[in-house]
Amino acid sequence: MEVKLYDFPPHGDDRGQLIAIEAGKDLPFDVKRVYYIYDTLPGVRRGFHAHRNLQQILICVSGSCKIHLDNGFDTAEVLLDRPDLGLYISNDMWREMYDFSEGAVLLVLASQHYDEADYIRNYDAFIEMVRGKDETV
């Protein structure tokens, strides 16, 4: 599976680092929502869903975590361990987040407001939906 990663250039100087991300310039969508996941307990795995329309960029701004991606045909595991690295997740992509390091903060830039109806939480329904869209399967 092709994984889309973004390298955001740090504006570093002798005081430290700063990363700026501008809507309409650095991202493939306009950001309507920002949330972050922190204080994740050891061994916890989260996510277990896909989205009908939502696109997101995940950045582990502190510490590290791993992301399991599944498009219904292929899977990928992505390590997010730098605050200048963004992972794009399209809609119709099953995701799970795991292996959070102590103190990890996962920042998410989202293309839509929160909407529970946008979630696909049943894996079999997800597979049926994505495979049904591909007429070659």
Residue 49 falls in the annotated catalytic set: yes
Minimum separation from the CB atom of position 18 to ligand T46 (A): 24
User: Please, what is the minimum distance in Å from the beta carbon of residue 85 to ligand T46?
Assistant: 15
Q: Of the two residues 33 and 66, which places its CB atom closer to ligand T46 in the complex?
A: 33
Nearest distance from residue 128's CB to ligand T46, in Å? 20
Look up residue 19 and give its two tokens.
């990363």
Which are the catalytic amino acids?
Answer: 49
The residues of the shown chain that bind ligand T46, judged by CB under 6 A, are 33, 35, 37, 46-47, 56, 95, 97, 108, 114
